[in-house]
Amino acid sequence: MDSARKNVAILAACQGLLLTNNSVLISVNALAGYALAPDKALATLPVTAYFAGSALTTFPLSFLMKRYGRRAGFTLGAVFAILGSLLSAWAIYAASFWLLSFGTLVLGAYFAAGQYYRFAAADSAPAEFRSTAISLVLAGGIIGGFLGPETSKLTKDLVPGHVFAGAYLSLVAFALLSMLVLRWLEIPPLSESERKAAGRPLAAIARQPAFIVAVLCGTVSYGVMNLLMTATPLAMTAHEHPFAAAAFVIQWHLVGMFAPSFVTGTLIRRFGLMAVMLTGVVLNAAGVALALAGMQVVNFWLAMLLIGTGWNFLFIGATALLAESYAPAERAKVQGVNDAAIFTTLVVSSMSSGALFTFQGWQTMNTWAVPFLVLAAASLLWLAALRRRRPGAAA
């Protein structure tokens, strides 16, 4: 257990650095894209490219970790972060929208690698500590919730005449620090037999109700959150709220995403996965309702805080639920499929975010989230009913 707790602490620190990277990008990507885009409907393309880079690399990174270990995969992700940050800063200096999109595409590999922090904690922890390990690793993101937006405010004008170039350059330091922290990570590699074993066919694993609901809720939680989060700086700027206010809202959104992680594992053990995940759906719905109610800073703040907290309950629950569906030899392909589905959803949601905001507006975007939340709630009720009728059969 001591080794598991040490790994959780290291992975939580890496999660904090990853989310610092992410929150800086959330604060500046859409605005930098809007400033450089030849067509303003393409403003969120750098955000889309970020998630496209994650989608393209999540499978290769998963199998690389299966063969060479978690530390090697996480370190490679940090290398991509450095390259992508330098390319993005160069793009701002050269006023090149397409180079900015390519830079964020490369940065996406870092996000893909970082998504496996939670799986590394889950796979190396005892069963009774698993949900707590996942939630504590994600709790590290609270560091990014405060550090990222503040970094973006302090560094966006660091390079004279090239707004946001300094913000991208600052990400190099965080990636280097992540590489240093990873030197203390100690997760035993898979055995030779586990590396070579294929496990059950993916089709057989995917027929399990637990797998279906875990993947569905994971993608819905990220898709709804990303759709609205990506457009928040644009919507606030359009309603003449200052950049500092948008950074403040994003900061508290990230607090909502990660601060509950200190108790989410405990809540899951006390009330059960289904109850916590359904609460996540309700919190998302409440956030959408507040976003529809007005365009003041307080509406954006409370809406994004609730959506962040709802994401936390749904996403941690989905990760713990997914871990019930695979054996050690099956980790790479199941985790790869799950995160590929999530990143594909992120690509679609970020790609549509700019166009929906430009042509339909903020309130229509929020309305689009409702049917997906209903679908997630229905799937959870289905799984809960199935488990009541046939205890253990849906695992």
**CA 388 to the chain's CA centroid:** 31
Report pLDDT for 166.
93
Per-residue pLDDT band at 44 (split at 50, 70, 90): confident
Structure tokens, 229: 């989060």
Amino acid at 118: R
pLDDT digits (tens, 9 = 90+) for 253-307: 888 988 898 899 889 989 999 999 999 999 999 999 999 999 999 999 999 999 9
pLDDT (mean) for 46-58: 90
Q: Is the dihedral of CA 387, 391, 394, 395 positive or negative?
A: positive
Please give the Cα distance from 246 to 34 (Å, whole number): 15
Please give the Cα distance from 143 to 378 (Å, whole number): 34
Domain chopping of the chain, boundaries: 2-187+201-389
Q: Is the pLDDT of residue 359 over 80?
A: no
Report pLDDT for 306.
97
Q: What is the CA radius of gyration of the chain?
A: 20
Number of neighbouring beta carbons within 10 Å of residue 191: 11
Report pLDDT for 229.
86
The residues, any chain, with a CB within 8 Å of residue 218's CB and separated by 6 or more, are 314, 315, 318, 319, 322, 338, 341, 342
**Nearest alpha-carbon partner for 323 in 179, 139, 73, 137:** 137
Report pLDDT for 19.
87
Q: Whole-prediction pTM value?
A: 0.79
pLDDT (mean) for 77-89: 97
pLDDT (mean) for 31-37: 87
Give the C-alpha distances (Å, rounded to integers) separating 216 from 128, 188, 241, 370.
24, 30, 35, 15
Report pLDDT for 53.
94
Report pLDDT for 145.
73
2-187+201-389 in CATH: which number?
Answer: 1.20.1250.20
Q: How many Å from the N-terminal Cα to the C-terminal Cα in the chain?
A: 25
Report pLDDT for 108.
95
Asked whether the beta carbons of 256 and 342 are under 8 A apart, the reply is no
Please give the Cα distance from 130 to 311 (Å, whole number): 19
Half-sphere exposure of residue 176: CA atoms within 13 angstroms, side-chain side: 7
Report pLDDT for 197.
74
Q: Is the pLDDT of residue 332 over 70?
A: yes
Half-sphere exposure of residue 110: CA atoms within 13 angstroms, side-chain side: 30
What b/e sequence results for 336-347 when a residue is b if at least 16 CB atoms lie within 10 Å of its CB, and e otherwise?
Answer: bbbbbbbbbbbb
Percentage of the residues of the chain whose pLDDT score is greater than 90: 52
The mean pLDDT of the chain is 89
pLDDT digits (tens, 9 = 90+) for 152-166: 888 988 888 898 999
Higher pLDDT, 196 or 243: 243
Asked whether the beta carbons of 13 and 181 are under 8 A apart, the reply is yes
Report pLDDT for 194.
66
DSSP result, 161-173:
T-TTHHHHHHHHH
Asked whether the beta carbons of 369 and 284 are under 8 A apart, the reply is yes
Per-residue pLDDT band at 5 (split at 50, 70, 90): confident
Report pLDDT for 287.
96
pLDDT digits (tens, 9 = 90+) for 121-155: 888 778 778 888 888 998 888 887 778 878 888 89
Asked whether the beta carbons of 246 and 231 are under 8 A apart, the reply is no
Per-residue pLDDT band at 391 (split at 50, 70, 90): low
